[in-house]
Amino acid sequence: MHMIAAAAEEYRGALIRFVVARGNDPAAAEDIVHDVLLRAWEKRGQLRDDTKLASGLYQMTRNAIVDHHRAQRPSGEMPEDVVAPEAERMVLSELAQCLDPLIARLPEPYRVALQLSELDGLTQQETAHRLGVSLSGAKSRVQRARSKLQELVLQCCKVERDHRGTVMDYEPSHNCRTPGHCACGKRA
């Protein structure tokens, strides 16, 4: 089975939900996704990196949604849910709920630095003062904490991003260290 055909089977439902979440009725969503998968099939010879297939499908779908709305309202403005999709905000909100148990796994100096600067809203100078370290020391701890947290998230969840790095979707990874559940609460 060709990679595009396999991707069509794997991503079709997720793409339809992605389109419906942006204010399209299910019939229009089916049509939009069908057109996207057809275009992907037609461009299968141009695919150089199969690891970017999913993000490419989501980008093509986003473009198709915009085209669909333009066809419906040629001179009107794009709906807010296309420009700043609610579904993307929901995915980020769900993924953010994963962070508490993952932050708890960070070594204490990094966990505290991240808590103070990112969650409590202190400036890095205030964070440095509270930690009793230099400003560069506080910045270093926050950066290391972010890096370690990203590693933990990627161990626990498969995160789908678009070409700009925007989180599009996620699902629990089989590598998650939380037996039976991802820290996100979704079934692994």
DSSP sequence for 69-103: HHHHSTTSPPPHHHHS-HHHHHHHHHHHHTHHHHH
- Write down the pLDDT at residue 175: 60
User: Which of 124, 146, 151, 120 lies closest to 137, judged by CA?
Assistant: 124
Residue 169: what residue type? D
Same domain for 165 and 98: yes
How many domains, in total, are found in the chain?
Answer: 2
CATH number at residue 155: 1.10.10.10
185 within a domain of the structure (yes/no): no
Same domain for 103 and 139: yes
Q: For each successive 10 residues of the chain (188 residues), what is the average pLDDT? A: 65 83 83 87 69 74 82 56 52 66 90 88 90 94 91 80 69 58 46
Same domain for 103 and 70: no
- Write down the pLDDT at residue 133: 95
181 within a domain of the structure (yes/no): no
188 within a domain of the structure (yes/no): no
9 within a domain of the structure (yes/no): yes
Same domain for 110 and 74: no
Q: Are 71 and 100 in contact, with CB atoms under 8 Å apart?
A: no
Same domain for 137 and 107: yes
Cβ partners under 8 Å of residue 102, min gap 6? 149, 152, 153, 156, 183
Same domain for 109 and 58: no
Cβ partners under 8 Å of residue 105, min gap 6? 152
30 within a domain of the structure (yes/no): yes
- Write down the pLDDT at residue 132: 95
Same domain for 120 and 138: yes
68 within a domain of the structure (yes/no): yes
Same domain for 78 and 100: no
Same domain for 52 and 15: yes
CATH number at residue 70: 1.10.1740
168 within a domain of the structure (yes/no): yes
Same domain for 150 and 79: no
Q: Are 145 and 113 in contact, with CB atoms under 8 Å apart?
A: yes
139 within a domain of the structure (yes/no): yes
| Domain encompassing residue 152 | 90-172
Rounded-to-integer distance, Cα 74 and Cα 102, Å: 46
Predicted TM-score (pTM) of this structure: 0.47
CA dist list (Å): 92 to 34, 108, 111 = 27, 25, 21
- Write down the pLDDT at residue 97: 67
Q: Which of 84, 103, 135 is the last residue of a domain?
A: 84
Same domain for 151 and 116: yes
How many C-beta atoms surround the C-beta of residue 12 within 10 A? 16
Same domain for 162 and 107: yes
